[in-house]
Structure 1
Amino acid sequence: MSKDLSLTTKDKTTKGKGCSNDNHQRLSAGVEDKEMDNLRKWFSDKLALGLGNKDLMEKPKVLHTLDLDGIVDYIKSGNVKNIITMAGAGISTCNHNRVILGKYKLTGFVIWLFIFTAAGIPDFRSPSSGLYSKLCGFDLPYPEAIFEIEYFRKHPEPFFAMAKELYPKTFEPTPCHYFLRLLNKKGLLLRHYTQNVDALERVAGIPAEKLVEAHGTLHTSRCINPECREEYDRKWMTEKILADVVPRCEKCKAVVKPDAVFFGEPLPERFRLVEEDFPNCDLLIILGTSLVVQPFASLVDRVPPRCPRLLINHEEAGNEDPVMVVLGFSCGLQFHGADNFRDVAWLGDCDEGCYLFAEKLGWKDDLKSLIENGCQSEAIPTVESGATGST
């Protein structure tokens, strides 16, 4: 490591506390220290970590202002053709349920569980829950085992016992879901990537080809026998769950599992669309997610270097990692500091954010019409199989 590089690091440590967003100076790459430049390039190529410092030196003027108005002006400019949206549990749960979700460590387990807590059900792991005592009869090694594929293959009963108690009676899209559909109606939505398994995007009328359900879906279920894999719709699965029976394949009698991703299973094949979608993105909108579950969280770094990124969430998420900043990479969202030229955070309720966004875009009446006259809430007993409608 060069002498100059060491001095820069020392000065930064002396003047501030750690690597503050407002005061840190990025290390210059590729001029005096070839080894560091090569190291950054190697990491970037191997790990898809995004831009190095050299790519950001120009600080282009992408947005007029780093706020929602700046994003609105950018869309109205006519330069936006391919919007990618990313969403988490925050777009499907009410304020009460966000409190419930806040009790959990945000892992893939929470993403699976949120669909049940969206119905206002207490934590099933709490001894005060009647469901807890019911599950105790199954002698679980630990509560999360319910969502592990190897445990499920041998012992599917605990999962379906929980599913019967917590399964929502209706699937009702939120204004956020209808805003996503509106983006598609306007011809701007390239793809919607969701961590949620509730299939509310489908219920809201977003075409299946526009969706990547990163953690799977409750919309369909399949036989776990690898030689069979017969598919069943949600109506069939719901009838079995409510009848308090373990769903069995009508062809081979093996257990049928919802297509939500369990621990130990690979992500859906459609997740590979990341490779072709994100390089073509000209605006990334992130809704209701803490951006901590990988590999979903890292997708924010897959868009082009000058692509604006908007977060609509209760709190900031996906903030740039100071360690990666020291290495010269731009990894994560950067809302503060002189280096930011494209990242915007609107903090508050996701539905309110989407209402405001639509109003500023001049789409208020369009969104209102979709909510009032679009797809009605979907009652489980009458669910049809396949994607819901078209836009």
Structure 2
Amino acid sequence: MDSKIDIQTIADRIKNGQVTRIVVLTGAGISTSAGVPDFRTPNTGLYDKLAPLKLPYPEAIFHISYFSHTPEPFYAIARCRHPGNLKPTISHAFLALLAKKNLLHFLFTQNIDGLEEDAGVPADKVLWAHGNWKSQHCWKCKAEYPDDLMKTAIQTGEVPYCLRPECDGAIKPDVVFFGQSLPAEFDVKQSHVPEADLMLVMGTSLKVAPCSQLPRLAKEGIPRVLINMERTGDFGNREEDLCILGSCDDDVRQLADLLGWRDELEGLWKDTVETKRDTLDFDDGPTLDECIDKLVKEMDEKLQISAGHKRMLENHLGDKFARIMGGK
């Protein structure tokens, strides 16, 4: 279906006050320029990069049933994806600017990096639908785990375990894994979507429910704007849909130009980056590829040890059997 609107129309409606309540849904695409690979882009996405680990399926690294018995892959890449290493992008700054101008009605983010808040989006305007890294608990008994010990575990890539003597559960950051329920407040907060006079969806494949269903809750006749590398979801099915295809950072700069906000946006972004640089949790560490390679080598060594142990047992039993038979 051909759209009735273009990016200039959206900018004009914001400038003349027709748009005052913007509801936003974001995904991994707004954080890629911060150094976080998205999940599904061929060759460069996280799931393709995990191929050397030979997981049962790519999403297993973030599935609670797999994590419960094999947490090593998650912690092998934890430092590379931990938000303590990351600085907000221009897209995060754009969201903060919407909030500063009292245009952000509510933000749903599927990301767990917390960079929206780092950029200046008020916490009461955000729902981290998939949780975040700000706290951690034992996945099994739910006991709390100290921040300093968690930081050490992420720094070293070693799996932290529950401190309770009677429990052997691995510690999991309070992010929502596959197989776990979203925060209870999701059902309450999604009522904000029909209140919007503009729905903005940025950097998401819209393949993970229930967040993927949020754009459908926008009222008919309300503009829905997709900023993404490709068309996704049911965008294009409504006359008031607009798909702006390309990188999120480039497209928000284009929109900021049309709104006359470009200098303010760049200044806000510069300030947030400088602030975050002064509070980074970790020094520059290994790349994601290096973390994966290290784990592959460790897994190979364990397999070799296991194979060697098996051969040793087989030889031992063979010798024992030969002695028994020889004594007859």
Q: What's the TM-score, normalizing by structure 1?
A: 0.63
User: How far apart are 1:164 and its partner, in Å?
Assistant: 4.9
Residue 75 in structure 1 maps to residue 1 in structure 2: no
Deviations 1:308-355, CA, capped at 9 Å, x for gaps:
11111222222xxxxxxxxxxxxx2226xxxx5311122222111111
Distance 2:218 2:58 in 1: 37
Distance 2:206 2:38 in 1: 17
Task: Name the amino acid aligned to 1:223.
Answer: C
Deviations 1:100-148, CA, capped at 9 Å, x for gaps:
842279xxxx7xx58xxxxxxx71323xxxxx3xxx7xxx655543322
Matching of residues 297-308 of structure 1 within 5 Å? 297-308=212-223
Task: Name the amino acid aligned to 2:264.
Answer: D
Q: Please, which runs of 5 or more residues in structure 2 have no aligned partner?
A: 284-328
**Alignment correspondent of 1:379:** 280
Q: 1:279 to 1:97 in 2, by over 3 A?
A: closer
| Aligned-residue RMSD, C-alpha | 3.1
Residue 245 in structure 1 maps to residue 158 in structure 2: yes
Residue 159 in structure 1 maps to residue 59 in structure 2: no
Residue 204 in structure 1 maps to residue 116 in structure 2: no
Residue 334 in structure 1 maps to residue 260 in structure 2: no
Contact 1:198 1:219 in 2 (8 A): no
Q: Please, which runs of 5 or more residues in structure 1 have no aligned partner?
A: 1-20, 23-62, 115-121, 127-131, 319-331, 383-391
Contact 1:309 1:344 in 2 (8 A): yes
Match of 2:195 among 237, 259, 280: 280
Distance 1:250 1:359 in 2: 53
Task: Name the amino acid aligned to 2:276.
Answer: Q
**Alignment correspondent of 1:39:** none
Distance 2:227 2:93 in 1: 15
Contact 2:83 2:133 in 1 (8 A): no
Q: 1:205 to 1:250 in 2, by over 3 A?
A: farther
Distance 1:84 1:166 in 2: 26
Match of 2:85 among 145, 170, 188: 170
Matching of residues 1-391 of structure 1 within 5 Å? 21=1, 66-94=5-33, 101-103=40-42, 113=46, 123-126=49-52, 132=53, 141=56, 144-164=59-79, 167=82, 170-226=85-141, 228-230=142-144, 233=147, 236-250=149-163, 254-318=169-233, 332-334=234-236, 340-374=238-272, 375-377=275-277, 378-381=279-282
Question: Which stretch has the larger CA shift, 371-380 or 273-282?
Answer: 371-380
Distance 1:288 1:260 in 2: 19
User: How far apart are 1:66 and its partner, in Å?
Assistant: 0.8
Aligned residues with identical type, % of pairs: 38
Q: 1:359 to 1:144 in 2, by over 3 A?
A: closer
SS at match of 1:380: coil
Q: 1:266 to 1:169 in 2, by over 3 A?
A: closer
User: How far apart are 1:177 and its partner, in Å?
Assistant: 0.2
Task: Name the amino acid aligned to 2:16.
Answer: S
Structure number with bigger Rg: 2
Task: Report how many aligned residue pairs link the two structures.
Answer: 278
